[in-house]
């Protein structure tokens, strides 16, 4: 027996675990093995261990789903309300986009799969933004950059450019996805600007920004604070400086220079 048979056996087991319909494994495990080119002895083994192979199917699926449900619990509530959560997860697993050796990357794989397939977005046009918002806290909390803080200009001057702390994320959503809950998982439409950052205690925090503040934070990274304020027509520069100093004190801004 050659090593190609080892690969065929491995493919059969993983297919049995991830395929959408468990029927082939439940009703005709020998046929499933035969469909993968396995010989009679292997087919018999699949038949003999049918129930225990179902245990593997359940274990694999449970392992892959658990971090998605832990992170995307509002999305789960949304889809459960429509009776579609299991269908969504089944399609996700069958899509086989789980390709990172890091278990913590599974929710991001779920978001990537949603984006690539468009699954559910006809019904919920805000779906990608909702899932992204649910991932945001983890992205900030676990961001590998930003520690220790680089020395930088402590107090902002008009000529300085702003440097965000590495974990800080500036995001704009078209729906109020930061205000949803398990009980009320459907966001109202409306543009929202958020800054998500890691505070001094290492905890992810977020604040809602006015459009002007969001624009200032973006532009001041490129052109410097004074020029950005001028371009945005901000009349009170001292107020802008005070605002940026506050963001720095919170840990959202690394420094100025």
Partner 1 sequence: MAPSLHLESFTGVGLGLRHPHFAAVARDNPGVPFWEIAPENVMGDGGRDHDQVCRILERDPVVTHGLSLSVGGFDPFDDDYLEQLAGFLAFTGSPWHSEHLCFSSVDGTITHELLPMPLTRASVRHTIRRVRELKDRLPVPFILENITYYAELGEKELAEPEFLGEILEGADVGWLLDINNVYVNSLNFGFEPKDWLLRVPLDRVVQMHIAGHERVGDLTLDSHGAPVIDPVIELMQWVLPRIGRPVPVLLERDNDIPCLATLLAERAAIQEAYDAVMAVPVRHG
Rounded to a whole number of angstroms, the minimum distance from the CB of residue 252 to partner 1 is: 15
Q: Among 174, 180, 179, 220, which Cα is nearest to 193's?
A: 174
Least Cβ distance, residue 78 to partner 1 (angstroms): 25
| 221 and 125 Cβ atoms separated by less than 8 Å | no
CB 2 within 8 A of CB 37: no
Identify which of residues 51 and 184 has a Cβ nearer to partner 1 in the complex: 51
Strand partners, 91: none
Q: Which is nearer to partner 1, 29 or 185 (CB)?
A: 29
Decide whether 28 or 80 has the Cβ nearer to partner 1: 28
Please say which residue, 10 or 191, places its beta carbon nearer to partner 1: 10
Structure tokens at 89: 């997860």
Residue 33 CB, shortest distance to partner 1, in Å, is 8
Q: Which residues bind partner 1 (CB under 8 A)?
A: 1-3, 5-7, 9-11, 13-14, 17-18, 33, 38-39, 41-42, 44-46, 48-49, 52-53, 55-56, 59-60, 63-64, 96, 98-104, 106, 141-147, 167, 198, 201-203
CB 1 → partner 1: shortest distance, Å? 5
Can you spell out the DSSP letters for 88-102? HHHHHHHHT----S-
State the nearest-atom distance from the C-beta of 107 to partner 1, in Å: 13
- Residue 41 CA to residue 227 CA, distance in Å, equals 76
| First CA to last CA distance, the chain | 67
């Amino acid at each position: 027996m050659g090593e190609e048979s080892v690969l065929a056996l491995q493919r059969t087991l993983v297919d049995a675990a991830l395929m959408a319909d468990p029927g082939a494994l439940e009703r005709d495990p020998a046929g499933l093995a035969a469909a993968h080119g396995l010989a009679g002895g292997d087919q018999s083994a699949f038949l003999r261990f049918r129930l225990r192979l179902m245990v593997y199917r359940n274990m694999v699926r449970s392992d892959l789903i658990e971090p998605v449900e832990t992170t995307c619990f509002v999305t789960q509530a949304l889809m459960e309300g429509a009776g579609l959560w299991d269908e969504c997860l089944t399609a996700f697993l069958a899509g086989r986009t789980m390709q990172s050796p890091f278990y913590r990357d599974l929710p991001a794989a779920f978001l990537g799969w949603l984006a690539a397939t468009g699954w559910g977005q006809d019904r919920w046009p805000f779906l990608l933004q909702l899932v992204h918002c649910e991932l945001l806290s983890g992205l900030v909390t676990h961001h590998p950059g930003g520690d220790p803080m680089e020395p930088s200009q402590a107090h902002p001057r008009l000529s300085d450019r702003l440097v965000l702390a590495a974990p800080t994320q500036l995001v704009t959503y078209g729906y109020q996805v930061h205000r949803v809950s398990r009980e009320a998982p459907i966001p109202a439409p409306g543009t929202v600007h958020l800054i998500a950052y890691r505070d001094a205690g290492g905890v992810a925090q977020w604040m809602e920004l006015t459009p002007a503040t969001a624009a200032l934070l973006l532009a001041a990274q490129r052109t410097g604070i004074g020029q950005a304020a001028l371009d945005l027509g901000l009349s009170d520069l001292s107020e802008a400086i005070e605002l940026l100093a506050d963001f720095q004190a919170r840990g959202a801004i690394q420094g100025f220079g």
